[in-house]
Amino acid sequence: MAHIKIRAVSCSVSGSGTIGLVQGASHNSACVCVCVCVCVCVYMRARLCLCVVVGEEKGNLREIRGKKAESSQLSGKRVCLLIGWGQFSTGKPGEVCKKSRVCLCNWTPHNSTLVTIGARLVEDQTQGSGFQSSRREKYGNVFKTHLLGRPLIRVTGAENVRKILLGEHQLVSTEWPRSARVLLGPNTVANSIGDIHRNKRKVFSKIFSHEALESYLPKIQLVIQDTLRAWSSQPEAINVYQEAQRLTFRMAVRVLLGFSIPEEDLGHLFEVYQQFVENVFSLPVDLPFSGYRRGIQARQILQKGLEKAIREKLQCTQGKDYSDALDILIESSKEHGKEMTMQELKDGTLELIFAAYATTASASTSLIMQLLKHPAVLEKLREELRAQGLLHGGGCPCEGTLRLDTLSSLRYLDCVIKEVMRLFTPISGGYRTVLQTFELDGFQIPKGWSVMYSIRDTHDTAPVFKDVNVFDPDRFSQARSEDKDGRFHYLPFGGGVRTCLGKHLAKLFLKVLAVELASTSRFELATRTFPRITLVPVLHPVDGLSVKFFGLDSNQNEILPETEAMLSATV
């Protein structure tokens, strides 16, 4: 490539996206450009920083401020792509402006048997599954792209995904980004591999046993009842996604971990935890005001709070009416011949909160949105509850009315939850590093490359599902059972040795939420139209979903606001 000096450097911020586009960069100047982009992104604490260096012999780029350059004629020979995750100064999750477009022209792969696609990550973020489906339709279920300058194979389809998930520890291995490894801690299940991973799963698996779930259920039901009464007592509409995050955080801290933290301290801990989560996937540059530094600071505060709560809990565990997840974790580790250190306990509790937080809040929000969109589904669910004597209403804050076997007998409820998780899977997929070269769908996948298996795309293209874009819980009924022909067509919780340990707890939580919503609440959309959905960092409505809630009594009559407020105050 001819040596051409940098003619233009531009970094623009739109929403939470920072985009730097440099025209005419030589190899040396590309390094300068990357440094400039990193500095700007760190300074702005942008959630998504995309720095593109386009080296060209001849070309014209009129617009370099995040807008589509319609009159541009590029003949770029090489492209340097830098992507970093951080936090925007507002502290809110965001997305790159829709107008952002990056065109990588005449970029020819070498030594590759796979079709190479330009790394149009900006479009992937804004267009979501629509962009990926267009790539898939054009190039097939296995195609190559690039992420952070490294080759990435994107994989769709039950058989392809099956080979990856069942090849854990032999063909592929999980490798989290450095920021996640540091912030989550080295002692977590997610960051462990091989025998260490297998042993940790054995220890943690008891937390989600049938007996353990039965002990959590009354407490989960009470927390959800309390929350719904609080929502109904609000004179204004609530932001469902934000409140669902608070709900899942409260459930994790109070029910799973059994911490007796004062309400004010719990609120502060939640704010710190949000800062932690927002920076788990950040550019690992430890500079003042960077997202990574903010994540480290949040982790330190959380670890102090968790250690205090753990020590207090260990001193007063006698006389409890049930064993929480932390109790079970401590006992399980002893049974396997290893007593957990305080640091391992802190990392374990932080991982439990992390696992129960974002994805469950996403699924809870999707559940409420679909019940709003499909009143016939809600009414059918109420009919099933009425037949089982479970339409108790919100007038009595009673605990313990549900049992695991009762929930298991509610067939239509199970279908509703399955359909929510099929159509609105919280995460799009998972990443693996290739341990040895292997063949997938006729292609050689080289050792050292990264593979992303797509859960959402696999659901969308599964031949076993009819009308895949239609919300239809009855597809999982005994009469139809569209998911019976191969388990890897439906995998909202992953699969293989790294299948989600807490999947039964997540489904239990969603079922209790659905039962309480149907029996104790009337709710209506507070905006003219339903919001669009974004996929980053997990699937959720862009405005959080504004909904007004009203309480119902045992006869399904609306409870007056003043009565609802009184009930909430007594809980």
Cβ atoms within 10 Å of 153's Cβ, excluding its own: 22
Which contiguous run of DSSP H or E holds residue 343?
helix 342-373
Least confident of 193-207, 415-429, 492-506, 510-524: 193-207
Residue 322: predicted pLDDT:
62
Q: Tell me the Ramachandran region of residue 535: left when phi exceeds 0, alpha when psi lies from -120 to 50, beta otherwise.
A: alpha
Which of 37-41, 90-94, 145-149, 169-173 has the largest mean confidence? 169-173
CA-CA distance, 513 to 121, in Å (whole number)? 35
* Main-chain dihedrals φ then ψ at residue 19, nearest 5 degrees: -125, 125
Residue 83: predicted pLDDT:
35
DSSP letters, 184-202, are: H-TTSSTT--HHHHHHHHH
Residue 367: predicted pLDDT:
99
Q: Which amino acid is at 557?
A: N
Which of 66-80, 145-159, 193-207, 413-427 has the largest mean confidence? 413-427
CA-CA distance, 356 to 148, in Å (whole number)? 29
Q: So where are the chain's domains?
A: 1-108, 109-160+434-491, 194-426+492-570
* Main-chain dihedrals φ then ψ at residue 168, nearest 5 degrees: -60, 135
Length of the chain: 571
What digits encode the pLDDT tens for the residues 285-297? 999 999 999 999 9
Does the predicted TM-score (pTM) go above 0.85? Answer: no
The 10 Å CB-count burial string (b at 16+, else e) for 472-500 is bbebbeeeeebbeeeebbbbbbbbbebeb
Q: What is the mean pLDDT of residues 256-270?
A: 92
Residue 321: predicted pLDDT:
58
Which contiguous run of DSSP H or E holds residue 73?
strand 73-85
Residue 130: predicted pLDDT:
65
Give the three-state DSSP class for 341.
Answer: coil
Quick one: CA dihedral 235, 239, 244, 246, positive or negative? negative
DSSP state of 493: T
Identify each DSSP E strand in 15-72 by its residue range.
17-23, 48-60
Residue 339: predicted pLDDT:
85
Q: What is the mean pLDDT of residues 106-116?
A: 36
Give the β-pairing of 48-60 and 17-23: parallel
What digits encode the pLDDT tens for the residues 543-554? 999 999 999 876
- 272: CB partners within 8 A, 6+ apart: 298, 301, 302, 305
Query: Among 477, 340, 345, which residue's Cα sits nearest to residue 411?
Result: 477
What digits encode the pLDDT tens for the residues 322-366? 679 999 998 888 888 888 999 999 999 999 999 989 999 999 999
Q: Which tokens in the block code for residue 14?
A: 């739109």
Residue 49: predicted pLDDT:
41
C-alpha separations of 302 from 24, 251, 256, 271, 359 in Å: 46, 17, 17, 10, 20
- 215: CB partners within 8 A, 6+ apart: 322, 323, 324
Question: Do residues 471 and 461 make contact, with C-beta atoms less than 8 angstroms apart?
Answer: no
Residue 394: predicted pLDDT:
55
| Owner of token pair 């929000």 | 365
pLDDT higher than threshold 80 for residue 80:
no
Which contiguous run of DSSP H or E holds residue 143?
strand 142-147
Q: Which tokens in the block code for residue 272?
A: 């710190």
Q: What is the mean pLDDT of residues 113-121?
A: 40
Residue 129: predicted pLDDT:
57
C-alpha separations of 382 from 16, 221, 222, 376, 414 in Å: 41, 17, 20, 10, 13
- 16: CB partners within 8 A, 6+ apart: 46, 47, 48, 88, 90, 92, 93, 94, 95, 96
Question: Do residues 217 and 512 make contact, with C-beta atoms less than 8 angstroms apart?
Answer: yes
Estimate the crossing angle of helix 411-423 against helix 375-387, to 10 degrees. 150
C-alpha separations of 334 from 202, 215, 255 in Å: 12, 21, 22
Residue 336: predicted pLDDT:
81
Cβ atoms within 10 Å of 309's Cβ, excluding its own: 21
- 421: CB partners within 8 A, 6+ apart: 363, 492, 493
Q: Tell me the Ramachandran region of residue 69: left when phi exceeds 0, alpha when psi lies from -120 to 50, beta otherwise.
A: beta
Calculate the CA dihedral of residues 449, 452, 458, 459 and round it to 10 degrees.
Answer: 170
Question: Do residues 152 and 432 make contact, with C-beta atoms less than 8 angstroms apart?
Answer: no
pLDDT higher than threshold 50 for residue 260:
yes
Strand order in the sheet with 521-525: 238-239, 546-551, 521-525
Give the three-state DSSP class for 555.
Answer: coil
Q: How confident is the model at residue 146 (pLDDT cuts 50, 70, 90)?
A: confident
Q: What is the mean pLDDT of the chain?
A: 78
Q: What is the mean pLDDT of residues 409-436?
A: 97
Least confident of 174-183, 230-239, 393-402, 549-558: 393-402
Query: Among 195, 199, 196, 247, which residue's Cα sits nearest to residue 224?
Result: 247
Least confident of 160-164, 316-320, 533-537: 316-320
Query: Among 475, 506, 509, which residue's Cα sits nearest to residue 490?
Result: 475
Q: What is the mean pLDDT of residues 452-458?
A: 95
Q: Which tokens in the block code for residue 112?
A: 């590759």
Q: What is the mean pLDDT of residues 490-504?
A: 95
Least confident of 79-83, 309-313, 434-438: 79-83
Quick one: CA dihedral 566, 569, 570, 571, positive or negative? positive
Would you say domain 194-426+492-570 falls under CATH 1.10.630.10?
yes
